[in-house]
Structure 1
Amino acid sequence: MNAQPSVTATAEPLLLDAALPEFRFSRLECAVITAEPDVVYRAARDLDMLSIHTPLFDAVMWARGVPDRVRRRPVATPPSMRVSDLFETAAAGDREDLAQPWVALGERAGREIVFGAVGKVWKPTIEWRRVEPGDYPGFAEPGWAKMAAAFVVHPYGARRSLLTYEARTACTDPVSTTRFGRYWTLVSPGVGIVLRGALRAIEAAAETGEGIT
């Protein structure tokens, strides 16, 4: 009986691993979509987070404006929150909106797109820290949570794609890790709902072709 030769698969590193290789908290959701990988990728890149309507996401967006409502200030609502905006702004060198905490961390065209932010999300009013993409991997100032997320598209059979949406968080010191841990216990199920809502929105766009540039 002839022994079959062993096959060793070599895993390809993710851009997300370069951005945030070590992390304590994570959430991963996935979906099989009936569309070619390049179509799914464009739909993910063009995703407008404001188009996701789940009770939780709508509540989160409403809660962001609570401090302004208490002070009777107008609540600023951005026209869109597209993933692609982060990368197009970075490519253009536009630094006007420094209040935007989310930054582009890496892109492998047609395969993977990574973005991240730094903040104290456990506070009643989130405190953000603008960290430029080149400084993000090495940022280690105590007291903060580093959050990175990625869409990754894989071919799945002849005409389908597997899309993953992963969110990771690492904190910069033990105290912030403890604080974020308590926060994560409460919000982790809700984060899953938001991630799955994003996947459904991408699936609908990819399978219908609507809103894809």
Structure 2
Amino acid sequence: MTTESKVDRMLIESAVPTFDTMIAEHLVVHAGPETTFAAARNVDFLTVRTPLLAAAMWIRGLPARWSRHTVVAPRRLVLAEGVGLPGWLLLGQTQGREIAFGAVGKFWQPDIEWLDVPRADFAGFAEPGWGKIAANFTVTGYGEQSSLLSYQVRTVTTDPESRRRFRRYWWLIRPFVAHIMRATLRTVRADAEASG
């Protein structure tokens, strides 16, 4: 006899149920789920240190610098404080389990165009010419005193031409995205283990 257990749908699955690309990274944290989740909610993305991230941000800012367009960088980028960037929004969180965030934009362009979309409209947004990014952190117990921390990113485009452009862009940046995600997980782990 088998027993079926109900599996709750994740916020990221509700926001982007089907996707063009998906990448996920996982890491064991030697701290309990509550401490690990708090560290994920409170990580300042601007404190994630990796030479590749610094190089990627510098390269990504070239078009704006060439056009003499002033880009004002936020001083902090913490999910628990709201995302605080054009186009980005907090999609929601579940108690101690998942926090999800996302954006609508033309992120395959050299100078990204972001679109502010209300959270209630994010999942159904389908205006041609755009793409959606949804990302999340999830935390589950792993043994008696540890946690499994996951970071997932999904992207979906709204029309075939945008999909074609994005796939070409994704082929180039995917290794950098994975590297930055792993660096972010290591930062969260360090914060959780230091406070646990």
> Does the 8 Å contact 2:60/2:110 carry over to 1?
no
Aligned-residue offset at 1:49: 0.7
Q: Tell me how far apart the structure 1 counterparts of residues 51 and 116 of structure 2 sit (CA, whole Å).
A: 28
Deviations 1:83-124 (CA, angstroms, capped at 9, x unpaired): 11217xxxxxxxxx6x62210111102110000001111111
Structure 2 residue runs without a partner (length 5+): none
User: Does 2:43 align with 1:47?
Assistant: yes
User: Does 2:145 align with 1:159?
Assistant: yes
Aligned equivalent of 1:93: none
Give the number of equivalent residue pairs. 196
Describe the SS at the equivalent of 1:84.
helix
Q: Tell me how far apart the structure 2 counterparts of residues 81 and 108 of structure 1 sit (CA, whole Å).
A: 20
Aligned-residue offset at 1:163: 0.7
Q: How does 1:33-182 map to 2 (within 5 A)?
A: 33-72=29-68, 75-86=71-82, 100-182=86-168
> Does the 8 Å contact 1:86/1:102 carry over to 2?
no
Give the direction of change, closer, same or farther, for the CA distance of 1:138–1:73 in structure 2 (3 Å limit): closer
Deviation beyond 4 Å, 4+ runs, structure 1: 71-75
TM-score by length of 1: 0.86
Deviations 1:150-191 (CA, angstroms, capped at 9, x unpaired): 000001110000011000001001111111011111111111
> Does the 8 Å contact 2:31/2:147 carry over to 1?
yes
**One-letter amino acid matched to 1:101:** G
Identity %: 43
> Does the 8 Å contact 2:41/2:78 carry over to 1?
yes
Aligned-residue offset at 1:78: 1.4
> Considering only CA atoms, is the larger Rg found in Structure 1 or Structure 2?
1
Aligned equivalent of 2:19: 23
> Does the 8 Å contact 2:64/2:111 carry over to 1?
no
Structure 1 residue runs without a partner (length 5+): 88-96
Q: Tell me how far apart the structure 1 counterparts of residues 44 and 31 of structure 2 sit (CA, whole Å).
A: 19
Aligned-residue offset at 1:75: 4.4
> Does the 8 Å contact 2:128/2:158 carry over to 1?
yes
Describe the SS at the equivalent of 1:8.
coil
Aligned equivalent of 1:194: 180
Aligned equivalent of 1:92: none
Aligned-residue offset at 1:10: 3.2
Aligned equivalent of 1:91: none
> Does the 8 Å contact 1:54/1:194 carry over to 2?
yes
Aligned-residue offset at 1:64: 3.9
TM-score by length of 2: 0.93
Q: Tell me how far apart the structure 1 counterparts of residues 87 and 52 of structure 2 sit (CA, whole Å).
A: 21
> Does the 8 Å contact 2:12/2:135 carry over to 1?
yes
Aligned-residue offset at 1:141: 0.2
> Does the 8 Å contact 2:63/2:110 carry over to 1?
no
Q: Tell me how far apart the structure 2 counterparts of residues 197 and 48 of structure 1 sit (CA, whole Å).
A: 12
